[in-house]
Structure formats: C-alpha cells, structure tokens
Structure 1
C-alpha cells in the first residue's frame, strides 16, 4: 500500500491511466542497475529516483573531474575528486530519500557483472566503450534481463531496448560487432552538454515503460537523434539468426513452443 506521502509525491504519475497505482507500486518494488554515472547515467539515476524506483544499484569506477561538470548533472564542483557513485548517491538522497541506493565504486569483471545482473529487474547501460557494452549485453541475455542502452557523441545520440523476454527483440551484438572503434568517446570526440540529458532522459523513460509494461518500448527499434537539425529517426532492428549471444536463446524458446 502506498502511504499518503507517496500518493502525493507520485500523484502526477498515478493519475495517468497507463500507470495508476499498480504501475507506481511496480516501480517502488523494482531494482534497476545503472552502469556508468556520467553524462547519461546522471539523468537516468535522477529521473528513476524521482519517479519512485525503489532501489538503484550504481556502478562506476571513476571520480568526479572538472571537465565532467559541463554535462554530468548529478555532480557539482564541491565533489571534484569524489567517486561518481557516491556523488550520485548524495544527489539521489536529496531528490527522493525513499529510494534505496547501493553504490559500487569498482569495475566489474564478467563474472561479477553476471552475478549482479541476475539480482535486478532491469539494466541501464550508460557506459562509453564498446568492450563494456558487449559484456553487459551478454550478461543481460544470459540472465534474461531487459537492457536499455544509450550513447551520445558530438551532436548525435541513440537509444535502444534489448529485451530477451521478447522473441522479436535483437541484442546489442546483433547491431554492433565486437572490434568496433573504441576511440569514439566524449573525451576524444567531444559532446554538446544537453544532448546527454536528452538521451539519458529517454533511457529513463524507456526503463520505466519496460518495468511497468506502459505503452510500447523501443525493443526491436533504434531511436536516433541528430541534434544539429533536431531530427529523430526510428529504425527497425532485426535479430541476427547467427548471433553468438542471443541466437541460442531464441532457438530454445522456439523449441519450447513446439
């Protein structure tokens, strides 16, 4: 049961027919893993906490730097040198003290990542390198956990949902192959400040939609933003029947349905 304070705090969401009290309770009972607390992870963490997600697990092994503050809004000047996960936890506490936060100031290896993802309801990938993204994707499909992936560079951004619970959904490796260009990071290529806020906000929205089955998620689609022209494009994604990550999962489901 929601308390009177919760009914007031989340009233603008509860009044939405697609959400109602049931949807709000689902969010309050959900655990979301956010990997990367930089430009994307900042708005993701803040909006999920504000919306009432009950538990957030934050993972990042970096400290706050002056050059981060142009876009990483969960941090501030006084926290330069502090672990990003601790800075983000303090910001979340000021937004919604009811959201439980577990902060992991470390880089997870594949085994630790797999064990952690098995314990959550959904994963949001806010990292900026392909090696980590591929590892997160593998662990999500191994554990059948939905993955909300985002990326932003220069003045371009993209968001996708990879959901192993949906037979038509591809995975990240269906779209990108390992060995892609590792140099495409904000530190090497630059990024316009509000862009990461836009993409991170869309990631947070998709996470909430998937958790409470609200509307239609981006599963099977890639949403692209060209910030120079503010053009949005939505591309349909197809599963790779030979994908080393998700093909066996879909084959198992097909055999089970026979």
Structure 2
C-alpha cells in the first residue's frame, strides 16, 4: 500500500497506465546497481532516485575533478576533491529521502562484482572503460542478472541491454570482442559533449524502469546508435557469436 505522500510524490507517473500503483510498488521494491557515476551515471542516478527506485547501489572509486563539472550534473563546484559515490549518495538522499542509497567508494573489480551482482535485480553500466565493461558483462552473466549498458564519445552514443537470466542469448563480448580493448578510447582522450550524455543516460534509466515494470525493452539484444549532432537514431540486432569467449559455449 502506497502512502499518501508516495501517491503525491509519484502521482504524475502513477497516472500512466504503464505504471499505476502496482508499477510504483515494483519500482519501490527494486534493487539496482549503478556502476560509474560520471556523465552517464549522473542523469541515470538522478532519474532513478526521482522515480522512487527503492534501493540504489552507487559504485565509483573516483573523486570529483574540475573537468567533470561540464557534464557530470550531479556534482557542484564545492564538491571538488570529494568521493563521487559519497557525494552522489548525499545528493540523491536530499532529492528523495524515502529511498535507500548505498555508496561504494571503489572500482567494480571482478572479485567484488561477482559477489555483489547477485544481490541486486538489475545492473546499469555507466562506465567509460571498455575493460571494466567486459568485467561487468562477465560478472552479470555469471550472476544471471540483466544489465543495461551505455557509452558516449563526442556526439555519439550507444545503448544495449542483455538478459542473462536466459540461456543462449548474446552478450557484450559478442559485440566487442575482448581483444579489441586496446583500441578503445574514453572521454578523457576523445572528448564528449555534455547533453549527449544526458540524452543517452535518460534512455538508459528509462530502459531500466521499463524492465522493472515488465514493459517491452527495445534495447534488449539490440544496439541503439544515437547521433546527437544530427538527432539520428539507428538500431542493429545483435546475434550470439559461436566463437564468443564468454557466451559462445552455451
């Protein structure tokens, strides 16, 4: 039973037939992990907290730098030098004190993530490092947990989701084989425009909410390419690769 305060806070989304009171209860019961609290993780975490996701685990081992403020909209100038995970948790708690926030001031290395991924309902990969994405991909698959993955460079973004609760489905390594890691760039080396991160991060949060609500998830096994400079959107269906080192033996 939703309280009168919850009915008022979430009234605009409860009015939607795709959500309703039952959907809001699903969101309140959900446990999500956001890995990476930078340009993508900032809008993702803000929207999920505002929507009433019951428990958010925020994972990032970095501290806030002046160069982050151009795009990482959850932080302010007075936060410079502080832990991203801890500041983000404080900001989200101030925005919605009714939800549970857990700050993990650390990087999501493989041993830790293998233990933690199974404790949540869904993982959102908001990192800008290809090597960490492969760790997240493998760990979520081992834990049989769905993951929504996104990235942005320059004006160009990518979004894709995987449901690892099902067998014989593709994974991130089918799309980007691990041997391609050395060619990858991130925001520090390639540059990025802030609003493009907001666009893709909003899409990522929306896909996570649809997953929790039992609605169709268009990014499931489908790579969405977002071009912010032209407002173009293209989608490509991903097939499982038989020689994939992660899922090819299923």
The TM-score bracket by the shorter chain reads over 0.9
Q: Is the 8 A contact 1:174 1:238 kept in 2?
A: yes
* Deviation, structure 1 residue 30: 0.6
Question: How many pairs are equivalent?
Answer: 249
The 4+ residue runs of structure 1 with deviation greater than 6 A are none
- Secondary structure at the aligned position of 2:148 is classed as strand
Instruction: Write the distance in 2 (CA, Å) between the matches of 1:217 and 1:23.
Output: 19
Judge conservation of contact 1:157–1:224 (CA < 8 Å) in 2. Answer: yes
Q: Distance in 1 between matches of 2:131 and 2:155?
A: 22
SS of 1:247 mapped into structure 2: coil
Instruction: Tell me which residue corresponds to 1:46.
Output: 46
Q: Are residues 1:61 and 2:71 paired?
A: no
The equivalent residue for 1:85 is 85
Consecutive unaligned residues of structure 1, counting only runs of 5 or more, are 252-258
Classify 1:183/1:160 alpha carbon distance in 2 versus 1 (closer, same or farther; 3 Å): closer
Quote how far apart the aligned CAs of 1:170 are: 1.6
Shift of residue 4, structure 1, vs aligned partner: 0.5
Other-structure match for 1:246? 247
Who is 1:256 aligned against? none
What does residue range 210-221 of structure 1 map to in structure 2 within 5 Å? Answer: 210-221=211-222
The secondary structure found in structure 1 opposite 2:119 is coil
> Retained in 2: the 8 A contact 1:19–1:214?
no
Q: Deviations over 1:88-117 (max 9, x none)?
A: 112101211112111011123311110000
Matches for 1:42-191 after TM superposition, within 5 Å: 42-166=42-166, 169-180=169-180, 181=182, 183-191=184-192
Structure 2 runs not aligned, ≥5 long? none
Structure 2: how far apart are the matches of 1:247 and 1:2?
A: 45
Q: Which residue number in structure 2 is paired with residue 197 of structure 1? A: 198
Q: 1:155, 1:163 → 2: CA distance?
A: 28
2:13 and 2:20 in contact (8 A); partners too: yes
Inter-CA distance 85–4: structure 2 relative to 1 (3 Å threshold)? same
- Measured on the aligned residues, the alpha-carbon RMSD in Å equals 1.3
